[in-house]
């Protein structure tokens, strides 16, 4: 099959033919029709995240946002057959630890991630382990391009909004109007929250408004915390940080009102190395909550897909560009300077 591989960090990906994957007894081979190019792939390409055990052994095929059709199944697979239209979370669960059994597969004790733990979906075919547990059947109304758009950033934004406990009419701030942030804006708007988007890029803020943000705050032109406190008359009810940067994390926490909730989605860069400072006295005195949010558990996919099938959510509106496999190095380079907008999705693999 044809695939793109990271051979060396920060160097162009190698595009060429590699052996087709073969299924073990519980695995499923999916013919990839759409594969998103995610900032997490960029982190793998940059060699980040070794401090959390996410430094892939090279060479590796990146890609973890996918939609496709089942090509072959292992002999023990019972729930899927060739021809089924499917997607899968980027975090693959073992199916038998306490977290998987309790519906929290995103917290699996043996969590594996496409493009980090093993080969991903920048390829014509990808192997999905524990297919009966990890694969998700697509409703007729959801095409594979939409499935790729859901794959990581959108479902992560969706789960982050759920973790925020935001109520209709409440103020939610989203720090970072990239893929995750725009997804969170769209989801929060759909459930009736008043959303403020924060970014340094005017075009991204314009897109956030189109996806439902009430207002955009340009962090290069305004004091973020002061602006949010003025707009919300005292602070946001909840805030989502989607970048993993010390400054934006601090802005997120300090822009909350008493009893507010900060949701941390963004993983840090090498500058932070996983450690950031927090205003702990303010967190105590104001009874603020700080919660983490990772991906979206397999158990929450039915609700997400139902909202998409009903037209209440539209992940495809965030797809800014369909690209060929040969274009991925260019996109990764553009991500370094934050030149990408919305989702770039590979739909041409030949």
Residue-wise pLDDT for 314-346, tens only, equals: 999 999 999 999 999 999 999 988 888 889 999
Q: What is the DSSP secondary structure assignment for residue 214, as one 8-state letter?
A: S
Q: Are residues 38 and 53 in the same domain?
A: yes
Q: Are residues 51 and 185 in the same domain?
A: no
Confidence grade of residue 75 (pLDDT, cut at 50, 70, 90): very high
Residue 22: exposed, middle, or buried by beta-carbon count in 10 A (0-12, 13-18, 19+)?
A: exposed
Q: How many domains does the chain have?
A: 2
Q: Are residues 202 and 160 in the same domain?
A: yes
Q: Are residues 46 and 172 in the same domain?
A: no
DSSP secondary structure of 174-205: EE--SHHHHHHHHHHHHTT-EEEEEES-HHHH
pLDDT of 70 reads 98
Range of the domain at 14: 2-153+296-348
Work out the average pLDDT over 297-312: 94
pLDDT of 339 reads 84
pLDDT of 241 reads 98
pLDDT at 47 over 90: no
| Pairing mode, strands 28-37 and 65-73 | antiparallel
DSSP secondary structure of 86-121: EE--SEEP-SSSHHHHTT-GGG-TT-EEBTTTB--S
Work out the average pLDDT over 13-24: 97
pLDDT at 53 over 80: no
pLDDT at 180 over 80: yes
Q: What is the mean pLDDT of the chain?
A: 95
Work out the average pLDDT over 286-311: 96
Q: And the tokens for 150?
A: 């859901």
- Cα gap 300→276, rounded to integer Å: 30
What does the chain come to in residues? 350
Q: Are residues 219 and 198 in the same domain?
A: yes
End-of-domain residue from the set 275, 292, 309: 292
Confidence grade of residue 63 (pLDDT, cut at 50, 70, 90): very high
Structure confidence by residue, pLDDT tens digits, 181-226:
999 999 999 999 999 999 999 999 999 999 999 999 999 999 999 9
CATH at residue 262: 3.40.50.720
pLDDT at 283 over 90: yes
Taking the model in full, what pTM does it have? 0.93
Q: Are residues 144 and 22 in the same domain?
A: yes
Asked if residues 164 and 238 have their Cβ atoms less than 8 Å apart, the reply is: yes
Helix (H) or strand (E) holding 229: helix 224-232
CATH at residue 74: 3.90.180.10
Q: What is the DSSP secondary structure assignment for residue 332, as one 8-state letter?
A: H
Q: Are residues 9 and 68 in the same domain?
A: yes
Work out the average pLDDT over 40-48: 89
pLDDT of 270 reads 79
Buried b (16+ CB within 10 A) or exposed e, 176-201: bbbbbbbbbbbbbbbbebbbbbbbeb
> Which range among 41-55, 171-185, 326-340 has the greatest average pLDDT?
171-185
Q: Are residues 105 and 57 in the same domain?
A: yes
Structure confidence by residue, pLDDT tens digits, 234-272:
999 999 999 999 999 999 999 999 999 999 999 988 788
Q: How many other C-beta atoms are found inside a 10 Å radius of the C-beta of residue 236?
A: 28
Asked if residues 89 and 29 have their Cβ atoms less than 8 Å apart, the reply is: no
Q: Are residues 56 and 141 in the same domain?
A: yes
Q: Are residues 254 and 240 in the same domain?
A: yes
Angle formed by the axes of helices 39-46 and 328-336, nearest 10°: 80
Asked if residues 142 and 209 have their Cβ atoms less than 8 Å apart, the reply is: no
Work out the average pLDDT over 131-154: 96
Q: Are residues 76 and 160 in the same domain?
A: no
End-of-domain residue from the set 277, 292, 307: 292
Q: Are residues 128 and 70 in the same domain?
A: yes
């Amino acid at each position: 099959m044809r695939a793109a591989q990271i051979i060396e960090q920060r160097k162009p990906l190698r595009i060429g033919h590699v052996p087709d994957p073969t299924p073990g007894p519980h695995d499923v081979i999916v013919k990839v029709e759409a594969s998103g190019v995610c900032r997490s792939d960029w982190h793998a390409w940059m060699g980040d995240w070794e401090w959390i055990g996410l430094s892939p052994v090279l060479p590796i095929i990146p890609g973890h946002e996918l939609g496709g059709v089942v090509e072959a199944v292992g002999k023990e697979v019972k729930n899927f057959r060739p021809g089924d239209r499917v997607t899968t979370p980027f975090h693959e669960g073992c199916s038998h630890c306490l977290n998987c059994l309790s519906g929290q597969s995103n917290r699996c004790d043996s969590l594996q991630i496409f493009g980090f733990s093993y080969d991903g979906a920048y390829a014509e075919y990808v192997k999905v382990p524990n297919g009966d547990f990890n694969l998700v059947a697509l409703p007729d109304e959801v095409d594979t391009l939409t499935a790729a758009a859901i794959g990581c950033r959108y479902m992560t934004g969706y789960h982050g909004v759920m973790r925020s406990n935001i109520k209709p009419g409440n103020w939610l701030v989203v720090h970072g109007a990239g893929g995750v942030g725009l997804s969170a804006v769209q989801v929060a708007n759909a459930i009736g929250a008043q959303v403020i988007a924060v970014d340094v890029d005017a075009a991204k803020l314009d897109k956030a408004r189109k996806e439902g943000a009430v207002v955009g705050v340009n962090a290069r032109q305004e004091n973020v915390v002061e602006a949010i406190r003025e707009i919300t008359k005292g602070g946001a009810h909840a805030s989502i940080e989607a970048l993993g940067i010390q400054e934006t994390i601090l802005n997120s926490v300090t822009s909350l009102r008493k009893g507010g909730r900060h949701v941390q989605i963004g993983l840090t860069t090498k500058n932070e190395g996983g450690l950031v400072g927090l205003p702990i006295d303010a967190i105590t005195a104001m009874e603020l909550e700080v919660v983490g949010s990772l991906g979206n558990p397999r158990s929450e996919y039915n609700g997400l897909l139902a909202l998409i099938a009903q037209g209440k959510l539209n992940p495809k509106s965030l797809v800014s560009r369909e690209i060929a496999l040969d274009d991925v190095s260019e996109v990764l380079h553009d991500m370094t300077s934050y030149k990408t907008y919305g989702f770039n999705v590979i739909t041409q693999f030949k």
